[in-house]
Structures are given as structure tokens and as C-alpha cells.
Structure 1
Amino acid sequence: MEERPPTLRVVVISPVRIYVEGLARLLDAEPGIRLTGTAGGVDTAVPLLDRPDVDVILLDMTGDMAGERGLTALHRLAGITAVPCVVLGIPDRPAEVIACAEAGIAGYVTNEHGFADLVGTLRSATKGEFTCGADIAAGLVDRLAALARDRRPAALVNLTSRELEIVALIESGYSNKEIARLLQIQLTTAKNHVHNILEKLGVRGRGQVMAAIRGRQWGIETAPPPLRVLAESS
């Protein structure tokens, strides 16, 4: 008997209510997908993202959310949660996709993709797979290589042994309170360490620290396998 894939629990974020309602109905009707909730923006999504039953976020980046406004939302999400985020409606061009990848996306679908493509991308994102065209894959690899050359030595020099411990715990999903308990330090001390790590690594939130580790930008040997960039076959 064929094994069913695990149920995928999705939060949809879009400022267009009718768009959210349409996506919600489609996703809820799809076998193996459960809609955890919807929100009109990042602020209203925060209570949903604090819940443990969220596997992936779908962020609408069409219309008013295109360009810088959408990128700002992505950066805010990266600072709030480590849940993978798939964006909807960005152009399939290297500059736009790479900008979103640097902001922490785990996948994307364009206006030309269909619902089946969206479902596949949501599932791939939870497995650490980033599917894109060959030209975009090449651009992503080049960009990651440039970031590694520019940042890796400084990061290794600047992080203390205690900060490296905390980076590993952040990557494993521990909260500041849990880090304080595990390392037997005050909560304020743990928060200060996390703040210093963000500043030293030049990132904006815990989610970006995790993305950096997965990309092995900082040379931490205990990091899990990096995000797999899969070039679509022509």
C-alpha cells in the first residue's frame, strides 16, 4: 500500500481578502493539506506563527506586496519565525528570485504556475528543496559563493565559543528561554548573546541565522545539510 505524504499545515498571508478566501478553499480541498489560518499581513499572522501546528507559510507578493514591500515582509517573517516561507506571484527572473532568496524564502511560484505547482512547491519547501530554472540556480550558487567569500572569515573570527554554542541551539529551534535554561544563564544574558550574534553576522533575525547555517556560510561543521537548489529540467 502506497504511503501517504504527511499532512501539510499551511498559513496564508495576503492583504487581498477575496484572494485569501479563494486560496483557502483550494488548499482546504486538497488531500494532505490543512489550512491552519489566514492573515492580511505579517502583524496579524504573528499569533498563528506562534502555534506549533504550522509547517509552511504562503506569502502573497502580488499587487501592493510586490517589490520592496514584499521583501520587507519577508525580512520581518525571518525575524519572527523559522517556518519555511513560499512566496506567490514573483517574476521568474534572477534578480527578483535572488533578492527573495536572500530574504529567506524556501520556494516560490510565479503568476504562470498552476495550483499543482503551488502544492508541489509547498511540499518541497518543507523538505529543504528549492526548485527553480537553470539560470536562477546558477545565479543563486554564484551569490552564495560570493557571500561565503565575503562573510565567512569575519564570522569565524568574531563569534565567541559561547556564541557558537547559542548559534547551534538557535539552529535547532530553541527559544531564548530554553537556551537560558540549557546553558544555565539568565534569560537577559541569553537575549544579549542572541542580539550580539545577529549584529556580528549582519542578519536581521533568528530565521536568517538558521538560513545562514543551512547554507554553511559561517563554516559551522555541525550544520544540517544545506538547502538543495534544484534546477528544473527544460
Structure 2
Amino acid sequence: MITILIVDDHALVRSGLLTLLSDKEHMEVVGEAAEGDEAIAKAMALKPDVVLMDLSMPHGKDGLTATSELKKLLPDTSILILTMHDDDEYLFRAIHSGASGYVLKNAPHEELITAIQTIADGNAYLYPTATKRLMNEYLEKLKHGENASTYDSLSDREKEVLAWIAKGYGNKEIAELLVISVKTVETHKSNLMEKLGLKTRPELVKFALKKGLLHFE
């Protein structure tokens, strides 16, 4: 029996998934959550085999952050991203965060069931076009003799935030420059520091210097 936790901020989506999965004899939905913090708490209590994780949950912790934290707390739990975002950046960030699979919400029901079974068995699952894009990017890097570095895993916005932090700008100043909230800057900073394995600003400045990011105008 595969136990499943459903995480989505829309009650109708959770209800639809519950109805779909309840028809499967080898699958059991053991809980639901509407945002990331609740998902982490429920997962810690229920220890599900699989978490179906939405990405965009505006009223709480987002799916990528929750996925990253959950994989540290429950490494044996497999996380399947279920989202409307058919986007390379989200796909690569989800994989980096520790997700075992990525499926679009408009996928056929049979694909979702296959994806759940696949990651529950300890394997990875990506929807077909995503797999093709991932392979094309990998082959392109090989063609140009590049290695997929940690820096490459950062989003464009995270790279921008990294450069401004390294130049000595504070969170509020960066928020004004990029026209985003201070909270968003803090989230990008936390994510990029974790991805790069950096703990302090001096380490960040040293990294930025090596990458040639400190070009002052």
C-alpha cells in the first residue's frame, strides 16, 4: 500500500485527487495540507510514502521550499511535484530541491498514477517533454565542454541577488533595485546560499569574485 499526502492550496484540487486516488486499491491518501508548513507538520506526523506537492501556494510556504526542507527531515519520503508550471526553471529547481518527480496538472490520470508508483518504487519520473528538454540541455553542455556547476543551478533572479549581495547591498536596497519585496529577497538569498553551500557573506563575496560577478559601474 502506497500512503500519500496531498499538498495544494485549492480545496477542489485536493478533493479531486482524493476521489481519483481512492479508487486505487494499492494507494491510500492519509492526509491533506494547504501550504508548506502544514505539509511539513503533516508529513512528520504521518510519514507518507509519497507527497504530492503543489508549487504555487501564496498563503504559506511555497512548494519548492517545503520540498527542500522535507527531504532533509524525511529522506525516505518521495515527493512528486504536481503543478501547472511547464517551465524549465521550475523543473530544474524542483529536481535540485530533492523532488523525485514532476508532473503537470493537465496530464492524464493514468500518467499521475504511473508517476506515483514510479517514485514510490524509488525511481524518478518526469513528464515526457520535460525529460527531452533535460537531456537536450545536458547534451548541449557536453557539446561545449561544460560541467553542470552549482552556480548553473541558480535561477536568473538568484544570480542577480547574489551579485548585489556580494557588492555590499542590503536586502531593502536590493528589493528596491529589483522591484520585489524584502521577503522575496530574503527567500532568494536563503535559497542561493543553501545551493552554493555558503554560510557567510565573506564566503559569498569570494565565490562571486571567482565567478567574475563583481563588476562595479
Say whether the 8 Å CA contact 2:83–2:104 is kept in structure 1: yes
Name the amino acid aligned to 2:135: A
Query: TM-score normalized by structure 1?
Result: 0.52
Listed as ranges, the matches of 1:1-234 within 5 Å are 7-51=1-45, 53-62=47-56, 64=58, 69-82=62-75, 83-126=77-120, 127-132=122-127, 133=129, 134-139=132-137, 145-147=147-149, 202=197
Give the count of matched residue pairs.
Answer: 149
Report the secondary structure of 1:57's partner residue: strand
Say whether the 8 Å CA contact 1:90–1:96 is kept in structure 2: no
Structure 1: any 5+ residue segments left out of the alignment? 1-6, 151-197, 205-234
Task: Tell me which residue corresponds to 2:190.
Answer: none
> Taking structure 1 as reference, are residues 117 and 76 closer, same or farther at Cα in structure 2, changes over 3 Å only?
same
User: C-alpha deviations, 1:60-100, integer Å up to 9, x for none?
Assistant: 225748xx933223223233322111011143333221121
User: C-alpha deviations, 1:132-156, integer Å up to 9, x for none?
Assistant: 4312233367599413899xxxxxx
* CA distance in structure 2 between the partners assigned to 1:118 and 1:56 by the alignment: 12
> Taking structure 1 as reference, are residues 113 and 79 closer, same or farther at Cα in structure 2, changes over 3 Å only?
same
Name the amino acid aligned to 1:147: S
Say whether the 8 Å CA contact 1:87–1:108 is kept in structure 2: yes
Q: Which piece of structure 1 moves more, 139-148 or 34-43?
A: 139-148
Say whether the 8 Å CA contact 1:42–1:76 is kept in structure 2: no
Say whether the 8 Å CA contact 2:30–2:46 is kept in structure 1: no
Structure 2: any 5+ residue segments left out of the alignment? 153-192, 200-217
* CA distance in structure 1 between the partners assigned to 2:21 and 2:68 by the alignment: 25
Say whether the 8 Å CA contact 1:92–1:110 is kept in structure 2: yes
* CA distance in structure 2 between the partners assigned to 1:79 and 1:9 by the alignment: 19
Query: TM-score normalized by structure 2?
Result: 0.56
User: C-alpha deviations, 1:139-184, integer Å up to 9, x for none?
Assistant: 367599413899xxxxxxxxxxxxxxxxxxxxxxxxxxxxxxxxxx
